[in-house]
């Protein structure tokens, strides 16, 4: 039977659509020309400029510090919120659910402005701590949603079994519920980390002197210093790191599967009588 | 002698539903005690109150002389085997079994020694590194048993432990549970809706219905001498007959049965007086069927209830055949085992006129009768007319 070419054509179009801009960006980071339209030959000078630009690295460090603490903070608050929402199924729960859900759909600009107004009203000087608070605020919703989804099909008889076998309520939580919720918490945490590193609009409103994050720095570089090729180089590096992370996580998954493989084969082989 | 486990006037309500209604119950040490009843009869709630997973609204739960009514589950030396096993999916077989020892902070060597020992008992020594998702249903069951027994509880609670297994495995696990009980000798409280499981495993059975206990007795007595129509109908198959005493001679009485033209003679163990209303339960295997009845000698003939009827339905069941015979207004069900030689060698088929007979000692008088229980007899649809016969005649509340 003649195979249709259509799926392949669609695949190629999608790939081009997704990855062509990235390829252009990466190529331009090695372009000797300051302007992306012309190719003046291969160069690494933008990379060396990037390495020497301390403000970029300071911005990256800021971003990573904020993202790390925002992730930890939102994981703790989001998980406890999800547990509470799941446990006390009162009539108010629908309202609580809506309140948790709202930050996901509120326009960022609104949230940024309201947070700025709040901080000004409370006479809090803006800086890394205000960015951190703002990030935790919107990340909590994401963590709470993923953990809630995990809790929805959680088998409560496991907790009962733990209590029945002699565990205190705390032991049952630490040894049974928490490990089983971990995939949800990690997924929420990864989401929180990505969103925090990525966020521009809210950060823009609540940032202060010395608290420039990477997205803010990149934006100001485009706006004010016309350092496009350096930004290209930075983006290419970030892209490389992202790809390496994706590949590493893939490899880890494959390793885990192959480690469990012997069990699977003995089960299928029926030697477990 | 005081009992090892006691429920004293225990009541538990869930909103409007009374799950357990003023139940009192004593279980002896080392006994296999079953709670048997249809789903929703309160048997699992009773078990969960002993485990500490529910608190009674009123009444006390006593374990080994100590009032444990309000003790949290982790402070009771009582472990449960749940219907779905409730193995921890993120732990290996070994870690699952070690769990109760670890939370009780046993020393490491002691944990290793005990887990190893119990793995041998359940013959799963080679599977200790596997996760629950990697072992079969029967193996999961055994891990759940090992986990519950490893720190030697005072009572083991089994909540429909075999319900998720297929028939062959179920029979196998029943034997295994029996063996394990012989080895460890601790008290078992077994909750099931399966009369076969309860019969083959238990020292005593409590039959429950609507949150109350109908009867507590050893299996044979539950089957042969049911106290109420519910017990008679829920455990095994039976025929209900209802009538009043016309005359009494020695230990026997003659009954005029509703829907039957000739009178029925029955052993009178309840010392019932003439004129009073009685309900009889006659097990199908006690009723004989043949095209022509044999000759009964004089003293035997006196105690045989002989009827003639027409065969309405036949179900072949391998070891025996079940016949539904229309006798008067009743459909009498009878089981006949298959033997090479029968009194009547002619095959009985639909529409045949047959003779039915049973010995006066083989019918049992019920203390309590509820007309609706007739519908419990399998298959219920065919008994609707029987329920109609009894409607409004039973001593319903």
Q: What is the pLDDT of residues A159-217, one digit of tens each?
A: 999 999 999 999 999 999 999 999 889 889 988 998 998 899 999 998 888 788 888 88
Residues near B217 by Cβ (< 8 Å), separated by ≥ 6?
A: B204, B205, B225
Structure-model confidence comparison of residues B187 and A33, the more confident one: B187
Task: Indicate if the pLDDT at residue B11 is higher than 70.
Answer: yes
In chain B, CATH 2.40.50.100 sits at 237-390
**pLDDT tens column, B369-392:** 887 787 777 554 444 555 555 655
Query: Do A68 and A20 share a domain, yes or no?
Result: no
Structural domain containing residue A193: 54-235
How sure is the predictor about B296, in pLDDT bands with cuts at 50, 70 and 90? confident
Q: What's the pLDDT at A256? A: 61
Domain assignment present for residue A257? The answer is no
Which tokens belong to B48?
A: 């969960």
| CA angle, B341 then B345 then B348, to 5° | 125
Query: Do A7 and A71 share a domain, yes or no?
Result: no
H or E stretch at B32: strand B32-36
Q: What's the pLDDT at A273? A: 31
Site from A156, A165, A263 to mutate, B interface, most B CB atoms within 10 angstroms: A165
Task: Indicate if the pLDDT at residue B338 is higher than 80.
Answer: no
How sure is the predictor about A262, in pLDDT bands with cuts at 50, 70 and 90? very low
Q: What's the pLDDT at B170? A: 87
Report yes or no: B291 and B352 within 8 Å, Cβ to Cβ: yes
Taking CB atoms and an 8 Å cutoff, what residues of chain B touch A259?
none
| CA angle, A182 then A188 then A194, to 5° | 135
- CATH fold of B237-390 reads OB fold (Dihydrolipoamide Acetyltransferase, E2P) (2.40.50)
Structure-model confidence comparison of residues A228 and B157, the more confident one: B157
Q: What's the pLDDT at A261? A: 40
Answer whether A180 sits within 8 Å of B90, measured CB to CB: yes
Taking CB atoms and an 8 Å cutoff, what residues of chain B touch A163?
52-53, 72-74
Query: Do A162 and A73 share a domain, yes or no?
Result: yes
d(CA B348, CA B116): 59
Q: What's the pLDDT at B73? A: 93
Please state, rounded to an integer, the average pLDDT across all residues of chain B. 87
Domain assignment present for residue A267? The answer is no
- The arrangement of strands across the sheet holding B353-359 comes to B288-290, B353-359, B304-316, B320-327, B330-337
Residue of A nearest to B87 (CA): A158
Looking at chain A, the whole-number percentage of residues with pLDDT higher than 90 is 33
Query: Do A142 and A59 share a domain, yes or no?
Result: yes
Tell whether B103 lies on the interface with A, counting CB pairs under 8 A. Answer: yes
Mean pLDDT, residues B235-256 taken together? 87
Q: What's the pLDDT at A158? A: 93
Query: Do A99 and A162 share a domain, yes or no?
Result: yes
Task: Indicate if the pLDDT at residue A43 is higher than 80.
Answer: yes
**pLDDT tens column, A87-138:** 877 777 778 888 888 888 889 899 999 999 999 999 888 888 899 999 999 8
Task: Indicate if the pLDDT at residue A253 is higher than 90.
Answer: no
Query: Do A71 and A152 share a domain, yes or no?
Result: yes
d(CA B157, CA B28): 14
Q: What's the pLDDT at B388? A: 56
**pLDDT tens column, B49-104:** 999 999 999 999 999 999 999 999 999 999 999 988 999 999 999 999 999 999 99
H or E stretch at A131: helix A128-152
d(CA B85, CA A160): 11
| Cβ neighbour number for residue B223 with a 10 Å cutoff | 19
Site from A155, A157, A163, A166 to mutate, B interface, most B CB atoms within 10 angstroms: A166
Least confident of B77-91, B119-133, B241-255, B266-280: B266-280
Q: What's the pLDDT at B318? A: 78
Domain assignment present for residue A269? The answer is no
Domain assignment present for residue A1? The answer is yes
Query: Do A162 and A194 share a domain, yes or no?
Result: yes
Report yes or no: B107 and B139 within 8 Å, Cβ to Cβ: no
Taking CB atoms and an 8 Å cutoff, what residues of chain A touch B79?
164-165
Taking the CA atoms of residue B74, residue B80, residue B84 and residue B85 in that order, the dihedral angle to the nearest 10 degrees is 80
Q: At A187, which CATH number?
A: 1.10.3720.10
Query: Do A23 and A64 share a domain, yes or no?
Result: no
Q: What's the pLDDT at B343? A: 53
Q: What's the pLDDT at B380? A: 42
Tell whether B106 lies on the interface with A, counting CB pairs under 8 A. Answer: no
**Nearest CA-CA partner of B108 in B97, B121, B122, B98:** B98
d(CA A60, CA B24): 71
Answer whether B79 sits within 8 Å of A164, measured CB to CB: yes
Query: Do A34 and A80 share a domain, yes or no?
Result: no
Mean pLDDT, residues B42-54 taken together? 93
Task: Indicate if the pLDDT at residue B286 is higher than 70.
Answer: yes
Mean pLDDT, residues B324-339 taken together? 85
Q: What's the pLDDT at B340? A: 58
Looking at chain B, the whole-number percentage of residues with pLDDT higher than 70 is 93
Q: What is the number of structural domains in chain A?
A: 2
Domain assignment present for residue A116? The answer is yes
Task: Indicate if the pLDDT at residue A246 is higher than 90.
Answer: no
Domain assignment present for residue A218? The answer is yes
Domain assignment present for residue A271? The answer is no
Task: Indicate if the pLDDT at residue B329 is higher than 80.
Answer: yes
Q: What's the pLDDT at A266? A: 35
Mean pLDDT, residues B351-360 taken together? 89
Query: Do A185 and A226 share a domain, yes or no?
Result: yes
pTM as predicted: 0.78
Task: Indicate if the pLDDT at residue B304 is higher than 50.
Answer: yes
Question: DSSP letter at B295?
Answer: P
Cα separations (Å) of B271 from A106, B274, B356? 82, 10, 27
In chain B, CATH 3.40.50.300 sits at 5-224
Give the CATH number of domain B5-224; options: 1.10.760.10, 3.90.550.10, 3.40.50.300, 3.40.50.10300: 3.40.50.300
H or E stretch at A158: helix A157-164
> Could you give phi then psi for residue A38, rounded to 5 degrees?
-115, 150
């Amino acid at each position: 039977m003649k195979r249709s070419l259509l799926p392949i054509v669609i695949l190629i179009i999608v790939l081009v659509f997704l990855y062509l801009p990235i390829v252009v960006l990466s190529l331009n980071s090695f372009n000797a020309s300051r302007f992306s339209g012309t190719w003046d030959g291969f160069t690494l000078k933008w990379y060396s400029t990037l390495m020497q630009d301390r403000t970029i690295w300071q911005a990256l460090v800021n971003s990573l510090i904020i993202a790390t603490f925002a992730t930890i903070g939102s994981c703790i608050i989001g998980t406890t919120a999800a547990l509470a929402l799941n446990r006390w199924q009162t009539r108010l729960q629908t309202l609580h659910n809506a309140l948790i859900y709202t930050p996901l759909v509120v326009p960022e600009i609104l949230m940024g402005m309201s947070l700025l107004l709040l901080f000004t009203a409370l006479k809090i000087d803006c800086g890394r701590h205000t960015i951190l608070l703002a990030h935790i605020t919107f990340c909590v919703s994401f963590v709470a949603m993923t953990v809630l989804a995990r809790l929805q099909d959680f088998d409560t008889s496991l907790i009962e079994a733990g209590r029945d076998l002699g565990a205190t309520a705390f032991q049952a939580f630490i040894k049974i519920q928490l490990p089983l919720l971990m995939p949800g918490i990690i997924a929420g945490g990864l989401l929180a980390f990505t969103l925090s590193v990525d966020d521009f609009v809210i950060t823009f409103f609540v940032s202060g002197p010395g608290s420039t994050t990477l997205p803010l720095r990149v934006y100001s570089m485009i706006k004010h210093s016309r350092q496009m090729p350096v930004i290209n180089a930075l983006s290419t590096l970030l892209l490389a790191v992202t790809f390496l992370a994706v590949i590493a996580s893939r490899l880890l998954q494959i390793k885990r599967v192959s480690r469990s493989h012997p069990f699977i084969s003995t089960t299928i082989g029926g030697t477990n009588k | 002698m005081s009992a090892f486990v006691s429920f004293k006037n225990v009541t538990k309500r869930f909103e409007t539903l009374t799950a357990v209604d003023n139940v009192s119950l004593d279980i002896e040490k080392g006994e296999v005690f079953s709670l048997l009843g249809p789903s929703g009869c309160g048997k699992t709630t009773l078990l969960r109150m002993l485990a500490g997973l529910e608190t009674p609204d009123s009444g006390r739960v006593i374990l080994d002389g100590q009032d444990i009514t309000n003790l949290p589950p982790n402070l009771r030396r009582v472990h449960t085997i749940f219907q779905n096993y409730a193995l921890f999916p993120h732990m290996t077989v070994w870690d699952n079994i070690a769990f109760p020892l670890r939370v009780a902070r046993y020393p490491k060597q002691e944990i290793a020694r005990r887990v190893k020992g119990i793995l041998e008992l359940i013959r799963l020594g080679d599977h200790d590194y596997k996760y629950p998702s990697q072992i079969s249903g029967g193996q999961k069951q055994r891990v759940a048993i090992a986990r519950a027994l490893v720190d030697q509880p005072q009572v083991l609670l089994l909540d429909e432990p075999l319900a998720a297994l297929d028939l062959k495995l179920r029979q196998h696990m029943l034997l295994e549970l029996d063996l394990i009980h012989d080895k460890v000798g601790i008290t078992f409280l077994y909750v099931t809706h399966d009369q076969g499981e309860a019969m083959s495993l238990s020292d005593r059975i409590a039959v429950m219905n609507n949150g109350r206990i109908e009867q507590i007795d050893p299996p044979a007595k539950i089957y042969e001498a049911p106290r109420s129509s519910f017990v008679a109908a829920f455990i095994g198959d039976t025929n209900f007959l209802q009538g009043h005493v016309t005359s009494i001679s020695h230990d026997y009485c003659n009954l005029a049965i509703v829907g039957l033209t000739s009178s029925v003679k029955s052993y009178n163990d309840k010392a019932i007086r003439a004129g009073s209303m009685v309900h009889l339960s006659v097990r199908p295997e006690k009723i004989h069927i043949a095209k022509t009845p044999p000759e009964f000698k004089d003293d035997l003939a006196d105690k045989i209830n002989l009827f003639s009827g027409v065969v309405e339905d036949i179900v072949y069941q391998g070891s025996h055949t079940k016949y539904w015979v229309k006798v008067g207004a009743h459909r009498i069900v009878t089981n006949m085992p298959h033997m090479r030689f029968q009194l009547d060698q002619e095959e009985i088929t639909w529409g045949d006129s047959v003779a039915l007979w049973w010995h006066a000692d083989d019918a049992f008088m019920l203390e309590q009768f509820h007309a609706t229980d007739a519908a419990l007899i399998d298959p219920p649809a065919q008994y609707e007319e029987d329920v109609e016969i009894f409607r409004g005649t039973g001593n319903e509340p």
